[in-house]
Amino acid sequence: MLLIPCPWCGPRDEAEFHYGGQAHVAYPENPAALSDEEWARYLFFRDNPKGRFAERWNHTAGCRRWFNAVRNTATNEIEAGEVTA
């Protein structure tokens, strides 16, 4: 069982959360100007490191808020979540 630390509700079981992907991915300034290949790269290509990785999580079965957390992909240890808008 993975315990995820929600910044508002405290540590909760992973079943209460929805994974939102890599954190800090900037939306393109002018998406209409992107080629199909550039748009596909934005939508589908993400980092996949071994070690610390910033991720987005949504506490769907709790407060329903989004937050960022850093998870070690080798050990599944999660550092305290960071509040986001």
Query: How far apart are alpha carbons 67 and 58 in whole angstroms?
Result: 7
- What DSSP element (H or E) covers 42? helix 36-44
CATH of the domain at 73: 3.30.2270.10
47, part of any domain: no
- Please give the pLDDT value at position 66: 96
| Block residue for tokens 């630390």 | 5
pLDDT tens digits, one per residue of 59-71: 999 999 999 999 9
Domains in the chain: how many in total? 1
CB atoms within 10 A of CB 4: 23
pLDDT tens-digit map of 28-83: 999 999 999 999 999 999 999 999 999 999 999 999 999 999 999 999 999 866 66
Would you call 33 helix, strand, or coil by DSSP? helix
